[in-house]
Amino acid sequence: MANENNKNVQKMVDAITPMEEDFGQWYTDVVKKAELVDYSGVKGCMVIRPYGYAIWENIQKDLDARFKALGHENVYMPMFIPESLLQREKDHVAGFAPECAWVTIGGENQLTERLCVRPTSETLFCEHYKSIIHSYRDLPKLYNQWCNVVRWEKTTRPFLRTSEFLWQEGHTMHETEDEARAETQQMLQVYKEFYAEALAIPAVTGRKTEKEKFAGAEETYTIEPMMHNGVALQGGTSHYFGDGFTRAFDITFTDRENKVRYPFQTSWGVSTRSIGAIIMTHGDDNGLILPPRVAPIQVVIIPIAQHKEGVLEKAAEVKAQLAKKFRVSLDDSDNSTGWKFSQYEMKGVPLRLELGPRDIEAGNCVLVSRVSRNKTVVSLDNLVEEVEKALNAVHDELYARAEENLKNKTFEARTMEEFLDIAENHPGFIKAMWCGDVECEDKLKEVTGGVKSRCIPFHEDVLSDTCVCCGKKAKHMVVWGRQY
């Protein structure tokens, strides 16, 4: 039996391309073999399988509770946007035009006006807000939407860039500029705390440059986690719109002094791309490693020698005990123990509980961490407490590993030569000074083959007085990096 188990484990491990050999292929292997997604018959679109969707449901549940605790309400807008409505804000439509999908025929009839399949919903919310906002008493409006959006991507990869994806998009209206700016910053902080507390992912946060900000926004703020290979992933964004959209859509309200004014607007969003962040931040050559707070299965119970009397009965009893507090699965299939071990490693289950005849006799079981693989013998009498402690340890270890990776792959460049050397030989984030000119931003991207500004962090280290690119007086320190 031992040889058979080892053979099965080796077979499962060999099914995944090592990440150091080909990170892109490793990622594709993991999302397929861990049964997160399947490819669909529509180019650029994915089938999110039950295990992958369960991760999204847990993400949604966590974020939704955070939003509602701050007073936000969920609504739903149409998925079609009339072209005339989209055209109302010129910068916005120009920014999204290359990615828009259009409906031109309804049934058998040509439409009199093209309908855009929702790439984002600012215009729809503005149309609605115009009809319901009249007085300062109607403000603030704190709405959020859980939905799908369509952006016609040229190059796609599951979760990271797909033509259709799932997300939440918050859209709020405020009486004053200060309130809207506070909302923008507050929601970025919500995302940062969510990534740390639920996904065990640290991140750099800050403001996007003018070139990289959202189309139609005055300011865009971003959360930028680093993947295992040193590449950035835009994990979520929060936008301050000022009154640009409200003027374009003629949304007005009567203020406290009986004067007609325009409200101030924000929007913010996180998508299924966050699942890609989990995979690429925490995974290893054996597959997924899921943070416990969003894992569909937090604990899997593997009966040892389950054919022996009393083993399955005791395993079912343990499952019932743990299920009151945790998401638990009991694998009582006739697959070999070794296959089960490797299967649940592949699927990233944070904690494995082994229970056999000797354990039962001693009143114990064995807990195995997916991260450290350390085995701990614990008493069945205080199992709930021990499982909770072990799951928290998995979360903490995942966060510490990701934080160490972020630290070790963040570099400083004071000259163009240093910048180019890091970009070529040391994957990761580059801190460097910038003059503020888009010409330098474009040049750095061009000469490095894709290193872009990620954000101007809230805390800027002054590395030198001059721009790393042109030598002129520096205005900001920027975090640069390649992105998915």
Q: Is the dihedral of CA 468, 472, 477, 482 positive or negative?
A: negative
The ranges of the chain with pLDDT < 70 are 1-14
Is 385 in the same domain as 270?
no
Instruction: List strand residue ranges (DSSP E) for 151-292, in order.
Output: 164-174, 204-207, 219-224, 236-242, 253-254, 260-261, 264-271
- CA 306 to CA 13: how far, in whole Å? 25
Residue 8's pLDDT is what? 45
- Quote the number of domains for the chain: 3
- Residue pair 319/301 in contact by the 8 Å Cβ criterion: yes
Tokens of 225: 């986690």
Residue 7's pLDDT is what? 45
| 402, part of any domain | no
Residue 133: how many CB atoms within 10 A of its CB? 19
Is 82 in the same domain as 150?
yes
Using one digit for the tens of pLDDT, what is the confidence trace for 348-380?
999 999 999 999 999 999 999 999 999 999 999
Is 380 in the same domain as 436?
no
| 388, part of any domain | yes
Is 278 in the same domain as 348?
no
| 263, part of any domain | yes
Is 196 in the same domain as 329?
no
Residue 14's pLDDT is what? 58
Residue 89's pLDDT is what? 74
| pTM of this structure | 0.94
| 287, part of any domain | no
Sheet holding 101-106, edge to edge: 80-82, 109-117, 101-106
Tokens of 379: 């008493």
- For residue 407, give Cα distances in angstroms to 19, 179, 411, 426: 20, 34, 9, 13
Residue 323's pLDDT is what? 98
| 8, part of any domain | no
Residue 95's pLDDT is what? 76
Place of tokens 């990271």: 160
Tokens of 154: 């040229």
Can you give the CATH number for the domain in which 368 is found?
3.40.50.800
Residue 409's pLDDT is what? 98
Residue 104's pLDDT is what? 97
- Residue pair 450/424 in contact by the 8 Å Cβ criterion: no
Residue 4's pLDDT is what? 43
- CA 122 to CA 148: how far, in whole Å? 14
Is 155 in the same domain as 272?
yes
Tokens of 270: 């996180």
DSSP per-residue string spanning 100-129: -EEEEEETTEEEEEEEEE-S--HHHHHHHH
> Which of 349, 364, 393 marks a domain boundary?
393
Is 19 in the same domain as 78?
yes
The residue segments making up the domain with residue 209 are 15-282
- CA 236 to CA 123: how far, in whole Å? 20
Is 103 in the same domain as 209?
yes
Residue 1's pLDDT is what? 38
- For residue 346, give Cα distances in angstroms to 8, 29, 184, 371: 13, 10, 38, 12
